Amino acid sequence: MSAPTLGAVWRASLRRELTLIWRSPADIVQPLFFFVVVVSLFPLALSPKPALLALVAPGAVWVAALLAVMLSLDGLFRRDQESGALDLLLTAPVVSVVPVAAKLLAHWLLTGLPLALIAPLLGYMLQLPVAVLDTLMVSVLLGTPTLTVVGAIGAALTVGLNRGGILLAVLVLPLYVPVLVFGAGVVRTALDGLPTGGLLAVLGAILALAVSLGPVAVALGLRISAGD
């Protein structure tokens, strides 16, 4: 029997991960619910004045998205470790980067993508002009995959630790700063009526770097946690 091709491994891994996440609705609903609740608290905590809400809206939406992504990452590999699937992944006769990349994509499709799709609605709730909402959604679409990949590196390094969530936050929050700065910055730039192409290009470049190197770093982090 011939060895499976990388394409077959990719498709099988992606199908498996999508099925597992889809069978756990809480993993999908929890980050989205957290995102909506955090953003909804800003008008209550600050002021209902439209001018003030529009001023803080870019930072509020982006901070809430960042925290929602990080909330979903603590258990990214923990279920696989408890079931023994993680050991099989690391010892399988294929490049472990392929199933890792499929896992990250599936995780973003069912947890990060919904955040980007609902971001314009929350931005509108915070009195952002309609003309800025498309920039907000594009920025979150470009930023959340990077947040997922960077956070997955921390999750891989802390998967074998008790109460690893605190250490995960310490590891990844400093690395999230550039994405947060440029993500909120591009929305503020659009709010001021200035061109946003340059900042969106920076977010795209950060995303390309994360996608190209991130799965390799996650696979290495898993091997370090497993003691290989």
pLDDT in tens, 15-65: 888 888 888 888 788 899 999 999 998 888 877 788 888 888 999 999 999
Domain assignment present for residue 155? The answer is yes
Is residue 82 domain-resident? yes
The pLDDT assigned to 89 comes to: 67
Print the domain residue range for 160. Answer: 6-226
3-state secondary structure 117-152: HHHHHHHHHCCCCHHHHHHHHHHHHHHHHHHHHHHH
Of 63, 103, 47, 106, whose CA–CA distance to 221 is shortest?
A: 103
Q: How many separate domains does the chain show?
A: 1
* Residue 133 in domain: yes
- Is 1 part of a structural domain of the chain? no
Q: How far apart are CA 151 and CA 145, in angstroms?
A: 10
pTM higher than the cut 0.85: yes
Is residue 92 in some structural domain?
yes
Residue 213 located in a structural domain = yes
